[in-house]
Structure 1
Amino acid sequence: MKIKSRLTSFLFIVGLALGMSAQQGPNQAFWVHEDQVKPSMMNEYEKTSKELVEACKSNNISDINWTVASMNDGTYLSITPIKGMSDIENMNFNDLREKMGDESFSKIFEDFDKCYDKHGDYVTILIPNLSYMPDGLSTSTPGQNYRVWHRMDVSPANVQKFQAKMKELKDMFASKNSKLPYRVYRSGFGNMGDSFVAVLSAKDAMDYDSRSTENQKLLGEEGDKLFDELFDYVDAYSVKRGGMRPDLSYQPAGEANNNAKD
């Protein structure tokens, strides 16, 4: 989680014009903390995560929030929307430490440290003009906490060509009235290289596989051809599955529920 990293000052910021929200602005940035949890420590990690959430709730902490997604390879993402540097600077656990006391507070993060050898922070940016959500762009998908992440790494020389093909793909989905919406994110500050991730939501694995198969039939040979052209500009491709984890997420009392958001 982004927990431990919030204990120190962050220097991550995106040099882009950011909108107020995914629905209102041209781009929305998200601050992500990624933990690569050891297979043998996943239960302990989730136990500690729930202890942190409960500590924040019982102490009525209001200056931090995060939404968690877990992947099937043991990767956990803690996600917080940001508008600028002040958001990152102002989000910390100082209030929780003061209310819990140093010893109890420190133990939580010591327990986290046992669960992984690698973790880090970066910014990712939601790109509305490459995302296909005909009912309105939103990272909130009530009743659809299942997630599939399609990651595509692209060399700098091919970024513009890749984006043009992604726009063609979006237009094709729209013209054929596809029932498989997706959101596209681009790597931001704190990442090496350029990558794009298409995130799809579903009720469960069966729902996703069924709709994906139907969409492939809908797009037909025209779709196959466009995907082939798109992947001409992709250097590496990977797919991960998982879902949103409301039980590991924290939103201060009174804020909108963020449980199903990317």
Structure 2
Amino acid sequence: MKTIKSTLLLILALFLATNFSNAQKFYQVHQDNVKPSKLWEYEKIAKEFNDACVEHNLQTSWLCATMDDMRYLYVTPIENFADLDKRPFADMAKAMGDKFGELFERFDKCYDSHGDYIIVLDEELTYMPDGISQSQEGQDYRNYYFIHYKPKNGKKIREGMKAVKEMFASKGSKNYYRIYRTGFGNMDSYYMVATSSKDAIDAATKEKANSELLGPDRFETFKKVMDYASKMEEMTGEIRRDLSYSPKTE
């Protein structure tokens, strides 16, 4: 057990040294996989919890995103691993007493699995020439593309992602996207491409215009990614402003 613990600490130290030094943005994600039968109950509890955070002026923040497979993601920016040791809910739990624990007992009945992990906003691969931002005003609809790959193909698939970005830039594409990659706590390796739109119609309109702009040669560039992908997934979702939170500012 001591050897395993020492190995894990070494892995954490190496991850810290090689990743947090790269001027990328890191986020802690809490993911709830909500059961269909408990969706409306979960929504009710989540809004109660958000109201309690506002009432107690909780000193942390998160952006809530949902996916159409009933994943609820609460995304909090972090500076380093020391942030993971913070206990932002401690004062709120003390003030609420038993009510705090009761809220989470009700949450637990709404899903069979949930957990935390880290993702990285990969600025080098992201295509947002006007400035990188997680959310854009009036564009809360999301298309998510998960590109899974084997670790042995990590270098090749990254080269392919760079080629795609270069193609978008050379054509002056207006179909901007952000690239997130898996970090500590993920057992699988993947890139997630996120695009923002007003709604499903706006997303489809942008995609059609972009395909026409890039032309048929785009397939040869996309192939540089696809050749090394082990699995592809597409998901839609939205940013939930009503379940997102940030503390009051003076």
TM-score (norm 1): 0.87
Percent sequence identity over aligned pairs: 41
Q: Does residue 87 in structure 1 map to residue 73 in structure 2?
A: no
Q: CA deviation at 1:137?
A: 1.5
Partner of 1:216: 211
Q: After the TM superposition, which residues 141-156 of structure 1 pair with which residues of structure 2 at under 5 Å, given as runs? A: 141-156=136-151
Q: Does residue 173 in structure 1 map to residue 168 in structure 2?
A: yes
Alpha-carbon distance between aligned partners in 2 of 1:81 and 1:184, rounded to the nearest angstrom: 15
Partner of 2:20: 18
Alpha-carbon distance between aligned partners in 1 of 2:106 and 2:134, rounded to the nearest angstrom: 31
Partner of 1:5: none
- Segments of structure 2 that go 5 or more residues without pairing to the other structure are 1-11
Matched positions, count: 238
Alpha-carbon distance between aligned partners in 1 of 2:172 and 2:121, rounded to the nearest angstrom: 22
Structure 2 SS opposite 1:18: helix
Alpha-carbon distance between aligned partners in 2 of 1:180 and 1:92, rounded to the nearest angstrom: 37
Q: CA deviation at 1:91?
A: 3.8
Partner of 1:191: 186
Q: After the TM superposition, which residues 96-111 of structure 1 pair with which residues of structure 2 at under 5 Å, given as runs? A: 96-101=92-97, 103-111=98-106
After superposing on structure 2, the runs of 4+ consecutive aligned residues of structure 1 that deviate more than 4 Å are none
Partner of 1:27: 24
Partner of 2:246: 251
RMSD: 1.7
Instruction: Give the letter for the 2:68 counterpart.
Output: N
User: Any conservation in 2 of the 1:133–1:183 contact (CA below 8 Å)?
Assistant: yes
TM-score (norm 2): 0.91
Structure 2 SS opposite 1:44: helix
Q: CA deviation at 1:87?
A: 1.4
Specify which structure has the higher proportion of helix. 2
Q: Does residue 45 in structure 1 map to residue 42 in structure 2?
A: yes
Instruction: Give the letter for the 1:66 counterpart.
Output: W
Q: CA deviation at 1:98?
A: 1.0
User: Any conservation in 2 of the 1:26–1:127 contact (CA below 8 Å)?
Assistant: no
Partner of 1:57: 54
